[in-house]
A and B are shown apart, each in its own frame.
Chain A
Amino acid sequence: VSARIRIVDDHELLAFSLACALQAEGFDAAALQPSTLEEVLDAVLADSPDLVLLDLQLGGSIGSGLSLVRPLTEAGVSVLTVSGVTDRVTIAETVELGAVGYVGKGEPFEVLLETAARAAAGESVMSATERTELLAELRRHRAQQRAAQAPFEQLTTKERHVLGALCAGGSVTSVAKESYVSVPTVRTQVRAILLKLQVGSQREAVALALRCGWYADRLAARPA
């Protein structure tokens, strides 16, 4: 009995080509169009496949394919991520969530096919060393993020508000106008922010907040 493979990718041509090629290789392969998270999950699980080739950027209402990895692996389906994302941290996250491996869309098409075939046959597509390295990298990355965000703990609520507004693209003048305070007051707060974050300029502070994920975390914690 040939392995059953389902392909979840918002790019139809790629998904369809992969399905055709895998069919030609003798697999029971089909492409599924992502619509909503629940629908994709239902559609995939209804076929009870052995392997799902999952894209990480699904667009539309799903967005990141990361949220599909855990439910699929929990249902006993192997997940191989096939994506244009080359960021090691994202790849490590999928591995942590239970993906069996990763193959870049940019790899030669034969490599893509071969990896999929190996994963479908239950062979490992990622060595234990590679997996450990990836997970170690993820841990290091998280520790770094935490360390980089430590100085932000010293900021007062008002300073956080000002920095958040600056990150969102505001200026000192616009922040002053929005919060009904004077420009020098905001500038004093900005100076306090610079002192606490130990940076030289407002631009640097914003760059730091964006780079170490403070702003993203703030947005996630308090949706507008």
Chain B
Amino acid sequence: VKGPWPHPDARGTRNLVLFVCVLFAGALGLTVAQGWWGSDTIRLDALRDSLQVATGALFFGAGLLHRAVLRVDHDTARGRAGLALIVCGFLAPWITGFGHVLHRDPTAAELSPLTSAFVAVLVLGLGAVTLTRPATEGSHTRLGSTLVVVLLLGLLAAPVVAHPLLPVALDLTPVSHLALELSVAALWIIAAVATEARRRRTGTEVAGIGFGVLCTMGVVWLFRALAVVDVQPWSLAASILLAAIGVVVLSTAALDFTASAEAGQRADAAEEALHTVSAAFTALDDHRRDVTHDARNVILAMRAATQTLVNHGEEITPEARQRLRLALAQEIDHLYRLIDRPSGDGDAVSAFDIAQVIGNVVELERIDGLDVTAVLPRCAALGRPEDLARVVHNLLANARRHAPGSPVTIHGWVSGGRLRVLVEDEGPGIPRAMRRTLFGRAVTQEGSPGSGVGLHVSRALMHQQGGSLELVEQPGPGAVFALTLPVDDDVPEQRRTGISGLISA
């Protein structure tokens, strides 16, 4: 890929070289033809002016393309190339017009030595300034906008400044004109050699403007020098060669632009992928932090409880002692659950058949001797079936314990997009004093054999799957618990509430 034409497509390079050769042959052919037919037959100098303007447009376009590519590859060399090309593009038509204003001598007017020298020095100076100093993006943007402002002002001010200059003869003698053109040519060749040496040494190259292009620029100025000696044909040849350079530079920029558009898309895809991965890692890290934090708190609380039992076991009341022991047992359970489901996969909810899940639990309890009946709609609820089964089991176990011998009824219905299930027993009910704290950790009735874990955990489990568990306040005897779950909206309405779907277990 390291060649005078810095782009990867070899066939493209060959085609471009061919194109330049054809243009060059055409130019020479035209000049020979002009010699045969005489200069009055074909007005080649008019052709030359428009060619110069077109070349300006080519350079300008190439510069813009390079600036566009700069957004993707952030290559400062490309930024320089883009700037230089935009400057050339601005100046090419300006030179054409301004030469006729500045000079009275026809040769000088056509070639405008002063302005062309100005362009060459400006472009090379810009290259030198940006090459020696590694420009940051910010300084680059500032340099670019300053240059554009200066150029626009120059273009606007040129006619105004030119008018008072008109009586002054700015024409050069042929000898000094020749010397000027030759020295500019030498300048280009030196720049070409320096660029090539730099490329060999550091491996960096100014995108689109390599050894070949700079050498050809030198050749253009050599042609101009020849034009001073023998006006018409060489001047046109120089313009055509310049136009050819414009085409080459523009095609290189276009190829780079196409490649960079693809690279940009790939970079976008990579960015998105990286984003997804980083989001996944962040979620994982957050989860790990949560689990660690919870586990830490549990362990610290357990330590506090055991220390209290060890150091002050004799001084505290037996009830408090018992409560601490029970709470310790619960915390161990809590800790186990934290570690048992560390990935958070257990949080996923799915649609399941409520009648079947609760029906299974009810069936087992009936086998175990509990008098329980269930009337449930056959509907799909959203949640975790195993957790719901655990909650219902807890509620039935509580009923069995606190309301021995009492029949238990379960009935459910769907309203407002939620499934409600009531679990009622006809036992003594919940003592008024306990109702407020019923769902707290480690709440047990005095003299009760239960560990108190059931209701607290049950409520947490229901909340985790987007449902709820409440004690229903009611005047009569018995305890009534209401649990709710969201229903699956994808299931048609009549299927959810259809009378035919009711089952009784």
Contacts and interface: CB of A to CB of B under 8 A. Distances in A.
Interface of A: 11-14, 16-18, 20-21, 23-25, 33, 84, 105-106, 109-110, 112, 169, 171-173, 183-184, 187-188, 191, 195, 202-203
B305 A13 contact: yes
A23 B316 CA distance: 8
Contacts of B275: 169, 171
B71 A187 contact: yes
Given A23-B316, A84-B296, A17 B308 contact: yes
B78 to A, nearest CB: 15
A188 B71 contact: yes
B109 interface: no
Contacts of A183: 268
Given A183-B268, A188-B71, A14 B308 contact: no
Task: Report which residue of A16, A23, A106 has the largest number of chain B beta carbons within 10 angstroms of its beta carbon.
Answer: A16
B327 A24 contact: no
Contacts of A202: 271
Contacts of A188: 71
Contacts of A21: 304, 307-308, 311-312
B308 A84 contact: no
Contact of A17 (B71, B301, B441): B301
A12 B301 CA distance: 8
28 contacts: A12-B441, A12-B442, A13-B302, A13-B331, A14-B300, A14-B301, A14-B304, A14-B305, A16-B324, A17-B301, A20-B312, A20-B320, A21-B304, A21-B307, A21-B308, A21-B311, A21-B312, A24-B308, A24-B316, A84-B293, A84-B296, A84-B300, A105-B300, A109-B304, A109-B307, A169-B275, A173-B268, A183-B268
B283 to A, nearest CB: 10
Interface in B130-152: 137-138, 141
Interface in B350-381: none
B293 A11 contact: no
Instruction: Please report whether the interface of chain A is mostly helix, strand, loop or mixed according to DSSP.
Output: helix
A24 B272 CA distance: 60
Interface in B280-297: 293, 296-297
Given A11-B298, A171-B271, 16 more contacts: A11-B297, A12-B440, A13-B305, A13-B330, A14-B297, A14-B304, A17-B304, A17-B305, A21-B311, A21-B312, A84-B300, A105-B297, A110-B307, A169-B275, A188-B71, A203-B278
Which interface residue of A20, A21, A109, A203 has the most chain B CB atoms within 10 A? A20
Nearest to B137: A195
A183 B72 CA distance: 13
B162 to A, nearest CB: 38
A57 to B, nearest CB: 8
Contacts of B442: 12-13, 16
A24 B315 contact: yes
Nearest to A184: B71
Nearest to B443: A12
B328 interface: yes
Contact of A11 (B268, B301, B320): B301
A18 B219 CA distance: 93
Nearest to B331: A13
Classify the interface of chain B: helix, strand, loop or mixed. helix
Interface in B314-331: 315-316, 320, 323-324, 327-328, 330-331
Nearest to A196: B138
A48 B303 CA distance: 29
In this complex, the member of A14, A172, A203 whose beta carbon has the largest number of chain B beta carbons within 10 angstroms is A14
A84 B327 contact: no
B297 A172 contact: no
Interface of B: 71, 137-138, 141, 268, 271-272, 274-275, 278-279, 293, 296-298, 300-305, 307-308, 311-312, 315-316, 320, 323-324, 327-328, 330-331, 440-442
Given A171-B272, A187-B71, A195-B138, A17 B293 contact: no
Contact of A20 (B71, B268, B274, B316): B316
B137 A16 contact: no
A20 B271 contact: no
Nearest to B330: A13
Given A20-B308, A173-B272, A106 B138 contact: no
A195 B311 CA distance: 62
B268 A109 contact: no
A106 B242 CA distance: 79
B474 to A, nearest CB: 24
A154 to B, nearest CB: 12
Contacts of B301: 11, 13-14, 17
Given A12-B442, A105-B300, A17 B307 contact: yes
Contacts of B315: 23-24
Nearest to A188: B71
A192 to B, nearest CB: 10
Contacts of B293: 84
A73 to B, nearest CB: 25
- In this complex, the member of B279, B300, B316 whose beta carbon has the largest number of chain A beta carbons within 10 angstroms is B300
A16 B300 CA distance: 13
Nearest to A106: B300
A69 B346 CA distance: 37
A24 B313 CA distance: 9
B285 to A, nearest CB: 13
A169 B278 CA distance: 10
Nearest to A200: B74
A160 to B, nearest CB: 20
A-B pairs, 7 with minimum CB distance: A24-B312, A14-B301, A17-B304, A24-B315, A13-B301, A109-B307, A17-B305
A13 B327 contact: yes
A164 B78 CA distance: 31
Given A20-B312, A21-B307, A169-B279, A191 B71 contact: yes
Contacts of A195: 137-138, 141
A63 B324 CA distance: 26
A21 B296 CA distance: 21
A23 to B, nearest CB: 7
B39 to A, nearest CB: 50
B469 to A, nearest CB: 17
B71 to A, nearest CB: 7
Nearest to A170: B275
A208 to B, nearest CB: 15
Contacts of A105: 297, 300
Contacts of A20: 308, 312, 316, 320, 324
A184 B315 CA distance: 74
A190 B433 CA distance: 61
